[in-house]
Amino acid sequence: MKRIIRERANISQIIMVTLKDALVASADMIYGVYARDGVSQVIRYRIPIAR
């Protein structure tokens, strides 16, 4: 699945909802959504590129 997602990501944008660590670990960017005082908050984290 990881290979297919990487291939498709070259030609399109992919949004996936998951709790699977393996999929999160292969992401370029992670977004998190949580509630605070009844209002949804969004955070994002760009995964550093290993050199």
- Domain range spanning residue 23? 2-46
The reply to whether 51 falls in a domain is: no
Residue 34, classed as helix, strand or coil, is: strand
- Determine the length of the chain: 51
Query: Residue 24 phi/psi, 5° resolution?
Result: -65, -40
**Structural domains counted in the chain:** 1
* Non-local CB neighbours of 16 within 8 Å, separated by 6+ positions: 5, 23
The reply to whether 39 falls in a domain is: yes
The amino acid at 37: D
pTM, to two decimals: 0.59
Span 1-51, pLDDT tens digits? 778 887 888 888 888 888 888 888 878 889 999 999 999 999 999 988 765
The reply to whether 37 falls in a domain is: yes
Query: What pLDDT shows up at residue 48?
Result: 83
The reply to whether 22 falls in a domain is: yes
The reply to whether 29 falls in a domain is: yes
